[in-house]
Amino acid sequence: MQKFKVTPWNVEGDVDYNKLIKEFGVSKIDKNLLDRIKKHTGNIHLFLKRGVFIAHRDLDVVLDKYEKGEKFFLYTGRGPSGHTHLGHLIPWIFAKWIQDNFKVDLYFQLTDDEKFLFKENLTLKQANDFAYENALDVIALGFDPKKTFIFTNTQYAKTLYSLALEVAKKLNFSTTRAVFGFDNQTNVGQIFYTCMQTVPCFLPSVICRKNIYCLIPHGIDQDPHFRISRDVLPKLNYYKPASIQNIFFPGLLKGGKMSASNKNSAIYTTDKPDEIESKIKNAFSGGKETLKEHKLYGGNPDIDIAYQYLKFFFEPDDKKLQKIYNNYKSGKILTTELKQICIEKVKAFLFEHQKKRQEAKKKINEFILND
């Protein structure tokens, strides 16, 4: 049994999600909850059906309130340490689906301060530049500009800093040490930072001068921050935020998540067609060593990255996916063929995305919150 470690800044080893769910103390998403969501949306999003979103905190509470006529808002974000990759899009695409179905606002935080503080060699200017690039990807997904508010921490600091102070006064070093594993060498910005990530959980309540429920779609590694939010917010007379948590998008290389800091592990939204092609061709596969063996014994789709991409993102048709699974497992489809299916899908998706990303440059001001 391989060991693993998950913090908001680092994921090591092969993550056992059942164990992680227990360790974090979050709840698995069950059929019951899926049925409740479906009542409002009419269908179940691919990411729910295929187990990309697997856990939550208090999503049932948010639905209870929603069913009684109380709206919630969405909050998600991005640490701008590089260009956006496919893994980052998961919670954003899901947030868009929730926005469309529940007609709710989204607050999107770009944490340039965080990335500057936690990445030794990243300058604040670089993080800030990436925040702009990442915002283009958010907008390209088609969010409603009237309901979507994007902000970068350093650019919106006049508003955020005062609210972060309210959080900070209720949070001591001991707690951050226990939650994040901080020690004496941790820089004082890192210790304070989590307060900035808690602010959007109650920012709309401050702006609207009434308590509003918050739902955060996010990668499960970010849960420690929101555990702190859930601890502190009631002390400030705001609701605890609810969350829905996705597993990591598999990296192209064996094991681990797509990581913006390892270029070969990730497909970026800015990658050109030939880069996409070459990256997927070099991705870890479940194929056998030789063509002869593969045809004889078949491949292993469950560990094959190209197959995972189809399953998690690019092949929404259950029947088509099952057919690919069976054919790869039996050896009928070769690894190169499986990869080619994936390459075409990813290329088509990013071709469209890049067009919209270009258009986003013209309308970015409709989305940005500034002091």
The residue ranges that bind a copy of itself (CB under 8 A) are 113, 116-117, 124, 154-158, 160-162, 164-166, 168-174, 176-177, 182-192, 194-195, 371
Instruction: Select 95 or 164, whichever has its Cβ closest to a copy of itself.
Output: 164
CA distance 270 to 254: 23
Taking residue 370's Cβ as centre, other Cβ atoms within 10 Å add up to 10
Give least dist CB 166 to a copy of itself, A.
Answer: 7
CA distance 117 to 193: 8
Instruction: Select 46 or 167, whichever has its Cβ closest to a copy of itself.
Output: 167
Smallest CA-to-CA distance from 269 within 7, 82, 86 is with 86
> What tokens appear for 177 in the block?
């040490």
Give least dist CB 160 to a copy of itself, A.
Answer: 8
Instruction: Select 132 or 161, whichever has its Cβ closest to a copy of itself.
Output: 161
Cβ-count burial 11-24 (b if 16+ within 10 Å, e if not): beeebebeebbeeb
Instruction: Select 169 or 361, whichever has its Cβ closest to a copy of itself.
Output: 169
* Beta partners for residue 221, in sequence order: none
CA distance 2 to 268: 29
Give least dist CB 84 to a copy of itself, A.
Answer: 23
Instruction: Select 194 or 265, whichever has its Cβ closest to a copy of itself.
Output: 194
Instruction: Select 174 or 290, whichever has its Cβ closest to a copy of itself.
Output: 174
Instruction: Select 358 or 370, whichever has its Cβ closest to a copy of itself.
Output: 370
Instruction: Tell me the pairing of strands 10-12 and 5-7.
Output: antiparallel
CA distance 312 to 306: 10
DSSP 3-state of 242: strand
* DSSP category for residue 240: P
Instruction: Select 71 or 235, whichever has its Cβ closest to a copy of itself.
Output: 235
Give least dist CB 249 to a copy of itself, A.
Answer: 29
Give least dist CB 114 to a copy of itself, A.
Answer: 10
Give least dist CB 363 to a copy of itself, A.
Answer: 24
Give least dist CB 368 to a copy of itself, A.
Answer: 14
Chain mean position to CA 226: 14
Give least dist CB 237 to a copy of itself, A.
Answer: 13
Instruction: Select 1 or 188, whichever has its Cβ closest to a copy of itself.
Output: 188
Give least dist CB 117 to a copy of itself, A.
Answer: 6
Side chain identity at 234, as an amino acid letter?
P
Q: At what angle do helices 173-180 and 223-232 cross, to 10 degrees?
A: 150
CA distance 115 to 128: 10
Is the distance from CB of 202 to CB of 233 less than 8 angstroms? yes
Which residue has tokens 């996010």?
218
CA distance 334 to 240: 50
Side chain identity at 172, as an amino acid letter?
N
